[in-house]
Each structure stands twice: as structure tokens, then as C-alpha cells.
Copies of this chain bind each other. A is one copy, B any other.
Amino acid sequence: MDIQHYMHTLGRQARAASRTVAAASTEAKNAALQAMAVEIRARREALLAANARDLEEARAAGLEAALIDRLTLGEKGIEAMAAGLEQVAALPDPVGEITDVKRRPSGIQVGKMRVPLGVIGIIYEARPNVTADAAALCLKAGNAAILRGGKEALHSNQAIAACVRAGLAAAGLPEYAVQVVDTTDRAAVGELIAMPEFVDVIVPRGGKGLIERISRDARVPVIKHLDGNCHVYIDDEADPAKVVPIVENAKTQRYGTCNTAESLLVSRTVADLFLPEIGRVLAGKGVEMRCCAESLALLREAGIPADRLREATEADWREEYLAPIIAVKLVDGLDEAIAHINTYSSGHTEAIVTENYTSAMRFLREVDSASVMVNASTRFADGFEYGLGAEIGISTDKIHARGPVGLEGLTSQKWIVFGNGEVRR
């Protein structure tokens, strides 16, 4: 198989289909999404069988349990996919929205129109549900999509792709609007990220290694999410009633998510007041604290069990643990907190706990991360919680799409001019 030729064929087909999808009515796109959901429910048995085949091969190859878990579709997973398609159908269509129209002295009226990006390449790993989720978001935003899933999920992805194609056909949309790469040859990824004539943007979803490799080699723009090293900063004037609930929720509500707090900063003036209680709550939940010298001494004094405490190294300030571990550091107030975050953070999400207006506004303004919060848990950094309805991911880039990326992040805006025969003088 000539991979370059194959991928260029997919690219050419996607580019052609993207014109039709960009101009498609909201009704047609929604009908396709609804029909996909119907197909997914109707083909439950076939999907489970395809998934079983992938799981069997994965087990035979000795893949680790976490990967097997991500690969498993199950009855619940199938229903969740179908429901997800219906949810995207129910979202408002972002395409064609006209905003900011202003009359200029020349007589022309200038505004902006929201338009699809064109062709989106999605590169993901073992989760087969991404095939349906990503297809739905790309389509609703008026884009064609080329999906490249992990080789472990090949059969599951092809079975889901068949449902997607059937849905497109039912709504009279081009079958090439969503294409799933059906080779496991890794060269396909190399081609997908290097054909700017056919692909407008790449969204990689997966581990850091995958994303770094793609960012390095891509010849087209990448909307990506690297680390989530999120901070909570307890300010001098923090409300005692808010401190512990926010820290506890940000760290322990879920350990494996990118918006989980990984570092806690406490202003030195209130460390005595808050840190012992925080330490007790976290230790009680089995969280290990990696502490600066001062906070370590304070937590030891407060009687936190020794096996929950460890001295932090410089590396801890940068770490995304995705585990019951948190870095703890005392700082000399707001300035040091902001400087620490802007130095060590991955730019995902940071929160301040304070009742002081000026501290809150300075933190919001000066912390250079995708989401910045006052008196709320970092766990809120999420497309659903922000009201986007669905998300294709959370971007730690600054360009184009930042933070949770919903339908709007999969579109662009062009300038439109309403004239009446005006010419330039």
C-alpha cells in the first residue's frame, strides 16, 4: 500500500466534501447526527463484536489493564456514544453567525461571519468513542474530518465509522465528510500532519508523547493540550469557609483529570491558619504532600502522618501527577504566587482563594493560563461546565483556541463587507 497516495486520496476527498458540509443546512447536519445515533443503537451487536475482537487481540498482545479499560466499549459506552451524538445535534449551529457589523466612513458595512475551518485531522489513541464524538463535533461545526485512531481499536473504529457513514448518507451529506483511516501503518500519521493543501488543523488527543511528536513534526496548525499542572493559591485574605472545600475538591474529586490541582501555594501569613487543616483532610484521603521546607515543618508539627509527607524537589513544581500527590509551597503573597505560577505552570487552569478585590483582579489579569478562577475549584475547567455543550479537548495553546474547545474552536471567522458600489479613494 502506498501510504502517501492513500492519505492524499483521503485528503482530496475530504477537501471536496468540506465544501458541501460547510454550506450544509443545520437541518441536514442534525439529521445526519440523529441518524448516526440510530445506527449506533441498531448495530449494537456488531459494535460489541468488533470491540471484542480488538480486546482479544489486545489481551493476546499483553497490553496493560489501563489501556484495555480505555479500549472497552460495552453496552454503556455504546449508549453514551449515541446520546453524545444527539447532544451535539441539539447544540446551536455556530456556522454563519454574523457579528460586529459596523458602518465605515467609506459607506461599506464591515462585519465577521463564523465559518468552518475546513478539514480537521484528529489523531487519537485507544478510546474508540472518540471516533463518534470527534466526528460529531467536526460535522456540526461544518468541517470534514479525517480520523486516525490507535491500532488497538481498529475494528471498533471501523464499525463505528460504518454507522457514521450510514448517518451521513441518510441525511444526503457526502460520505467523505468523515473518513476513518483504515491502515495501522504509522506513516499515515506522518502524512496526515504534513498535507496543508488538504488539512487545515490537527487535533491530537492522547498521551504527552504523541502530542509532542505531532507538534514537532506537523506542517499544519495543531490545537493541542499538553500538561495540566494546575495551581490553587490561598491568599492572605482567603475566606476560611472556602479554603478547604476548594482545595479538597480541586485535588481529590478526581485524580486523573487534567484540571485536577497538582500544586498548592499558600501565602506565608495564613499558612498557620489553613495548612494544618488542609493537611489533615488531604492526608485523610491518602494524598501525599510534596512540601517546601517550611510547609513540611508546619505539617509535621501539625501531626500529619510522616508517610503522607515528603520534601519537594524542583521537579515537583512542574509535575502533573495525575495521582493522589500534591506539591505544597509557601509563598510571600500574591506577587510570588503569580511569578511561581507563570514560571512553573503548564498554562491550563489556576485558582486563587481570596476575599480581596484587588488580589482577585490582579490574579485574573496577570496569571497567564487558559483558565483563571477566583474562589472556585479548578475542576470547573471543562467544556460542559463552561456551557460549551461538548468539547473536543482543552487547549494549552494561546493561539486560536484556548482552554475548553467546543464547536466555536472548530470554526474561524472571516470578514464580510456589505457594499453598495463603493470604491476606494
Could you list which residues of chain A lie within 8 angstroms of chain B, going by C-beta atoms?
A: 19, 22-23, 96, 102, 104, 106, 108, 110, 113, 115, 117-118, 200-201, 216, 219, 221, 239, 241-242, 245-246, 248-250, 253, 339, 342, 351, 362, 364-366, 368-377, 379-381, 385-387, 397-400, 402-404, 412-424
Determine if B375 and A421 form an interchain contact, defined as CB atoms under 8 angstroms apart.
yes
Determine if B416 and A364 form an interchain contact, defined as CB atoms under 8 angstroms apart.
yes
Q: Can you name the residue of chain B whose Cβ is closest to the Cβ of A388?
A: B110
Going nearest first, the 3 A-B pairs with the smallest beta carbon separation are A376-B419, A249-B423, A242-B421
Instruction: Jot down 21 A-B pairs with beta carbons below 8 A, ordered by A.
Output: A19-B368, A108-B376, A110-B385, A115-B365, A241-B421, A242-B420, A242-B421, A246-B421, A248-B423, A369-B414, A371-B414, A371-B417, A372-B415, A374-B419, A377-B422, A377-B424, A380-B424, A386-B415, A402-B412, A402-B415, A403-B415
User: How far does the alpha carbon of A200 sit from the alpha carbon of B252 in the complex, in Å?
Assistant: 33
Q: Can you name the residue of chain B whose Cβ is closest to the Cβ of A366?
A: B23
Further 9 A-B residue pairs, CB within 8 A, beyond A351-B417, A380-B417, A386-B415: A104-B387, A110-B385, A201-B399, A221-B399, A375-B418, A376-B422, A377-B419, A377-B422, A402-B413
User: How far does the alpha carbon of A96 sit from the alpha carbon of B400 in the complex, in Å?
Assistant: 18
Q: Which of B22, B241, B385, B420 contacts A368 (CB 8 A)?
A: B22
Determine if B379 and A423 form an interchain contact, defined as CB atoms under 8 angstroms apart.
yes
Interfacial chain B residues near A253, Cβ < 8 Å: 423-424
User: How far does the alpha carbon of A132 sit from the alpha carbon of B2 in the complex, in Å?
Assistant: 51
Known contacts: A415-B402, A417-B372, A423-B253. The answer to whether A19 contacts B366 by CB under 8 A is: yes
Known contacts: A366-B23, A398-B200, A412-B399. The answer to whether A386 contacts B113 by CB under 8 A is: no
Q: Which of B108, B373, B399, B412 contacts A380 (CB 8 A)?
A: B108
Interfacial chain B residues near A385, Cβ < 8 Å: 104, 106, 108, 110, 424
Interfacial chain B residues near A342, Cβ < 8 Å: 19
User: How far does the alpha carbon of A145 sit from the alpha carbon of B275 in the complex, in Å?
Assistant: 41
Determine if A387 and B424 form an interchain contact, defined as CB atoms under 8 angstroms apart.
no
Determine if A398 and B104 form an interchain contact, defined as CB atoms under 8 angstroms apart.
no
Q: Can you name the residue of chain B whose Cβ is closest to the Cβ of A419?
A: B376
User: How far does the alpha carbon of A362 sit from the alpha carbon of B386 in the complex, in Å?
Assistant: 33
Determine if B246 and A423 form an interchain contact, defined as CB atoms under 8 angstroms apart.
yes
Give A248 Cβ to nearest chain B Cβ, in Å.
8
Known contacts: A249-B423, A387-B110, A418-B374. The answer to whether A115 contacts B368 by CB under 8 A is: yes
